[in-house]
């Protein structure tokens, strides 16, 4: 697989996202703990050196599984986490956007992963204004805390997630941004201005929902007729074509598809070997 620099370290362009390792609703233990551990070990065996996680996946569960499966961590493995939320007993995702909460989130990740420093940490911004006024924190204050954590050696780089172009520009200026995580896929390219800005600045862009939104009724890459046609022609899965399109779309795209099954993991990683022709790319882009 090709590589790209993430927080100053080269990583393969297909990594692994740990969100699907915990139980249903990203809460509690996995349905099959042995399989979850096997997925992580197989990922590293196949060259994955970028794992995306969060302490609030579970909570704690994803990080505990990563620690069990991979600690002591192989040299070159970049662990990336995110802060900005917590979990409640009902499975909700309450905001945790205040600077002291961001710091606590980083500390929780360090503890549960058993490391002294994280490769990068994304500040996950809110989808909607919080009902709690205390969670309406100026971005400059949040970035200031993230920079302080970097200067203390607890994180190697500051990322941002769910951010507008204006917020990305602010983070580049104030925090020396090392990655952006926003929604982007073949069927949802509204974030192209942010992707292009990142490409121009040499900043990795890590799309979540790379195969379309997970919410019911929203467009899915795997349902797209053009994707299905190209997949059949290449003897590949629709998901592999969707992932390969992202890799071909911009050189700075890093993927973190997640799964709780080894067979699915291997399919996802095989997308890195799928080469789309000019004809394929034109067919996939037609009418968009």
pLDDT per residue as tens digits for the range 29-76: 999 999 999 999 999 999 999 999 999 999 999 999 999 999 999 999
28-54 b/e with 16+ CB inside 10 Å = b?
Answer: eebeeeeebbbbbebbbebebbbbbbb
Q: What does the pLDDT average to over 133-137?
A: 92
pLDDT band at 265 (very low <50, low <70, confident <90, very high): very high
Q: Smallest Cα–Cα separation from 238: which of 222, 252, 226, 214?
A: 222
Rg of the chain's alpha carbons, rounded to an integer?
18
% residues pLDDT > 90 (the chain): 94
Q: Does residue 57 carry a catalytic annotation?
A: yes
3-state secondary structure of 171: helix
Across 265-281, average pLDDT: 97
pLDDT score for 213: 84
In the chain, what are the domains?
Answer: 3-218+246-261 (3.20.20.100)
What single-letter DSSP state applies at residue 186?
T
pLDDT of residue 212: 93
The pLDDT of residue 76 is 95
Catalytic residue among 4, 57, 73, 205: 57
Residue 10, H or E segment: strand 9-12
Res 111: pLDDT: 97
């Amino acid at each position: 697989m090709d590589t790209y620099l993430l927080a100053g370290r080269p990583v393969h362009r297909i990594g692994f996202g740990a969100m699907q390792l915990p139980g249903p609703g990203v809460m509690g233990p996995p349905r099959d703990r042995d399989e979850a551990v096997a997925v992580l070990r197989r990922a590293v065996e196949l060259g994955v050196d970028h794992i995306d996680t969060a302490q609030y996946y579970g909570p704690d569960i994803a990080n505990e599984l990563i620690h069990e499966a991979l600690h002591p961590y192989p040299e070159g493995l970049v662990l990336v986490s995110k802060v900005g939320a917590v979990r409640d007993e009902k499975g909700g995702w309450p905001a945790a956007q205040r600077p002291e909460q961001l710091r606590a989130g980083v500390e929780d990740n360090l503890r549960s992963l058993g490391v002294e420093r994280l490769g990068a940490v994304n500040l996950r911004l809110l989808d909607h204004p919080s009902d709690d006024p205390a969670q309406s924190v100026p971005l400059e204050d949040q970035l200031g805390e993230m920079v302080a954590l970097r200067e203390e050696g607890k994180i190697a780089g500051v990322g941002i997630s769910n951010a507008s172009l204006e917020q990305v520009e602010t983070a580049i200026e104030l925090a020396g941004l090392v990655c952006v995580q926003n929604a982007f896929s073949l069927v949802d390219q509204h974030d192209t201005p942010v992707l292009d800005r990142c490409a121009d600045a040499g900043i990795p862009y890590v799309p979540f929902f790379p195969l379309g939104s997970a919410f019911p009724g929203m467009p899915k890459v795997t349902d797209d007729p053009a994707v299905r046609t190209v997949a059949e022609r290449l003897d590949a899965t629709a998901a592999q074509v969707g992932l390969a399109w992202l890799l071909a779309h911009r050189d700075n795209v890093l993927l973190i598809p997640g799964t709780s099954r080894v067979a699915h993991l291997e399919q996802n990683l095989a997308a890195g070997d799928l080469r789309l022709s000019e004809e394929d790319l034109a067919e996939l882009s037609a009418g968009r």
